Amino acid sequence: EPLYEAGLRRFASPEDAHGSPLAEAILAIEGVTEVIVSGHTVTAVKDTPGQWQMTARAVGTAIRSALLQGGPVIVPKAAAADGDDALYEQVADVFETRINPMVASHGGRVDLIDVQDGVVLLRLGGGCQGCGMANVTLRQGIETTLRQMVPAVQGIMDVTDHAAGADPYFAQSKK
């Protein structure tokens, strides 16, 4: 049975998670800054780069513990108080159903970072980070799709560090 059937639910703070045992437990893990639950999928966002092994174990333990308690692990969200929260959920759904399947076919992924004043902040990863066509994908693929599917989107902002990665397309100059 799905953990959350009403689409997508994002928790960016302990206050957001209040009353949802699964999200409360995962957000209590050191370094976890956000939890996203949709259907059978739980996504935990870390605030630091590096190894996931310890965090992954703690997240797995939190999930199992919440499920063993019985009862709902995620409570339905009340009416969205913040327009960006509602917009975030719509955009996240488009990322999950349209954008990431599209870029995954080329070895890439796009992470939704936030939505601020209608502007979608995103980070490219996988094959997209080192691809010379990333800007075309951003503007003609991602932005066009988002504007068609979610008309309230005002624009996109790429927060990717394109100089990082195994094959960046903005290489640092060598001195």
pLDDT at 79: 45
Question: Nearest Cα to 43, choosing from 35, 53, 51?
Answer: 35
Beta bridge partners of 34: 45
Task: Report in angstroms the alpha-carbon separations of 25 from 8, 19, 61, 80.
Answer: 18, 11, 9, 23
Beta bridge partners of 32: 46
Cβ contact 135:171 at 8 Å:
no
pLDDT at 81: 43
Give the neighbor-by-neighbor strand order of the sheet with 4-11: 4-11, 32-39, 41-46
Positive/negative CA dihedral, 101, 104, 108, 113: positive
Q: So where are the chain's domains? A: 4-68, 83-158
Domain 83-158 maps to which CATH number in 3.40.50.1980, 3.30.300.130, 3.55.40.20, 3.40.630.30?
3.30.300.130
| Per-residue pLDDT tens digits for 142-171 | 999 999 999 999 888 887 766 665 444 444
Residues of the chain with pLDDT under 70: 6-7, 77-83, 130, 161-175
- In CATH, the number for domain 4-68 is 3.30.1370.70
